Amino acid sequence: MNDFDLILASNSPRRAQLLGLTGLRFIIRPANIDESRLPGEHPAPHVLRLAGEKARAAAAGADGPLVLASDTIVVDGEDILGKPRGAQDARRMLMQLRGRTHQVFTAVAISDPATHREQVDLCVTDVPMRFYSDAEMDAYIASGDPFDKAGAYAIQHAGFHPVEKMTGCFASVMGLPLCHVLRLLQAFGLAAGSDVPAACQQTLAYDCPVYQAILKGESIR
């Protein structure tokens, strides 16, 4: 018998931190897949496909608990902003996003290795960026933090704090929308071991205005 409840198919420390707020026991088993965008693939199908492929890859040959995977993309119109290739690319992305609202799409997939059953969910969050100065942007790039982040920023970065007046799911922009995770877990008969919305808001210091609607099964923007 396994002494854990879930397999997390990600090596993201942010996703591991957020999943830990559920009180569930999990192990980490990253899934390495080709994350290239297919020709003509729109953002929502793209991110849902990647989350599902990650879950199936980590579930292949697994013996035991459910596999949880997630994928996050930063979207400006139909333009998907991945991880920057260097300082110049990071500056280009941050200048493109500055003072405007874009979207973050985070898909979550859960796969059951025993039955091959799979469930997916999608959270789309509007992200209003503040008009940070060139000096702030260059100092942030010099810190090295943007280089492993989609869109070249971390919403939770205390020094840069790029986002203002957020009204959506903060955790989703970090990489794991916990209330969407709860909805999927319930479909598989697995309950969290803690008050997840309360733990999430306390940890992120964010008064979430959408968690109740999400837990009711509503689609939010």
Supply the range of the domain harboring residue 196: 6-215
Q: Give 2's pLDDT tier (boundaries 50, 70, 90).
A: low
Catalytic status, residue 71: yes
Asked, for residue 135, whether it belongs to a domain, the answer is: yes
Asked, for residue 1, whether it belongs to a domain, the answer is: no
Note the pLDDT tens digit of each residue in 109-147: 999 998 889 999 999 999 999 999 999 999 999 999 999
Mean pLDDT of 13-36: 94
Note the pLDDT tens digit of each residue in 189-217: 999 988 999 999 999 999 999 999 999 98
pTM of the model: 0.93
Asked, for residue 107, whether it belongs to a domain, the answer is: yes
Asked, for residue 52, whether it belongs to a domain, the answer is: yes
Q: Report whether pLDDT(220) > 90.
A: no
Q: Of these residues, 34, 63, 71, 112, which one is catalytic? A: 71
Mean pLDDT of 98-116: 95
Asked, for residue 221, whether it belongs to a domain, the answer is: no
Asked, for residue 64, whether it belongs to a domain, the answer is: yes
Backbone angles phi, psi at 215, to 5 degrees: -65, -20
Asked, for residue 41, whether it belongs to a domain, the answer is: yes
Asked, for residue 104, whether it belongs to a domain, the answer is: yes
Note the pLDDT tens digit of each residue in 61-92: 777 799 999 999 999 988 999 899 999 999 99
Domain count, the chain: 1
Q: Report whether pLDDT(1) > 60.
A: no
- How many other β-carbons are positioned within 10 Å of the β-carbon of residue 78? 7
**Residue 60, domain CATH:** 3.90.950.10
Res 221: pLDDT: 64
